[in-house]
Amino acid sequence: MSNEATVVRFSVKQRIEHFCVMILFTLLVLTGFPQKWPTADWSAWVAGAFGGIEQARVIHRWCGVLFAIVTVIHLASAVFLVISKKALPTLIPHRQDFRDAVKTLRYYMGLEDSHAKFDRFDYRQKFEYWGMVMGGALMVVTGFMLLYPIVATKFLPGEFIPVAKTAHSNEGLLAFLVVITWHVFNAHFSPEAFPFDKSIFTGRVTVDKMLHEHPLEWERMQAKQGAKKRKGPGPSGPGSREPEVASAER
């Protein structure tokens, strides 16, 4: 075992949000797919594990409502933190992300000597995040339309209900495929993460990992800490707290 310096990357709130989304998404898939393919042999087995198809539908609806609540809380708190200047809008895509994508591709092709330097989130993480946000919004809207079709048709033509059903079903399948082929690979099977990136559960990453994957964020953290030391002790609080560096035994 060796001691390696670690840095706090994810707050307790962010880790709880990820855990809730992970559990709710899994339950939504397990209770939703038997409804999408009701005649498949495995559908009866999966639905039976939840007490039958009717019970699976009840669980699916409750998980959908909880997912909507978690989504609203996440987006509202993120907007509030950015507006109050307690957090940076590090997940907003900008032109540098396109430059980083091109440089990364050129690096993989041997046309660049070094890969792009990333800040807190790279272009792949931003793509995945906003795909989840927009896909989640579509699932929430269409889910509530299917849950309350009579209310929905008071404001929309009746043809929107079967459209919502198709969109809800296909977006659920697309989200599952993206999570399996994109997120799980990047978090578990990519050369940088294999066999398991546990930072979203522990909240910490090693300094070496920060320097390798997010050097621009590390430089900004060091600059802020240096400025804080020169300025001297100031008021404490969520807005003035800097990421903590500590020694952790691995």
Amino acid at 140: V
What homologous superfamily does CATH list for 3-249? Transmembrane di-heme cytochromes, Chain C (1.20.950.20)
Residues 6+ apart with CB under 8 A from 227: none
Mean pLDDT of 90-101: 93
Q: Long-range contact list for 125-129, CB < 8 A, 24+ apart?
A: 125/91, 126/91, 126/92, 126/93, 126/97, 127/93, 128/178, 128/182, 128/183, 128/186, 129/91
Decide if pLDDT at 171 tops 80.
yes
Give CA–CA dist 209/198, Å, rounded.
12
Segment 32-77, tens digit of pLDDT: 999 999 999 999 999 999 999 999 999 999 999 999 999 999 999 9
**Residues 204/177/97/195 CA torsion (nearest 10 deg):** 30
Q: Where are the beta strands (DSSP E) in the chain?
A: 3-8, 204-206, 245-249
Confidence label for 91 from pLDDT (cuts 50, 70 and 90): very high
Confidence (pLDDT) at 194: 79
Tokens of 157: 């033509």
Confidence label for 248 from pLDDT (cuts 50, 70 and 90): very low
Give CA–CA dist 63/165, Å, rounded.
17
Segment 115-152, tens digit of pLDDT: 899 999 999 999 999 999 999 999 999 999 999 999 99
Give CA–CA dist 15/137, Å, rounded.
21
Confidence (pLDDT) at 153: 95
Mean pLDDT of 169-178: 94
φ/ψ bin of 39: left (φ > 0), alpha (ψ from -120 to 50), beta (otherwise): alpha
Decide if pLDDT at 110 tops 70.
yes
Confidence (pLDDT) at 233: 60
pLDDT, averaged across the chain: 88
Give CA–CA dist 77/37, Å, rounded.
37
Decide if pLDDT at 192 tops 80.
no
Strand order in the sheet with 3-8: 204-206, 3-8, 245-249
Comparing C-alpha atoms, which of 135, 139, 162, 137 is closest to residue 149?
162
Confidence (pLDDT) at 184: 85
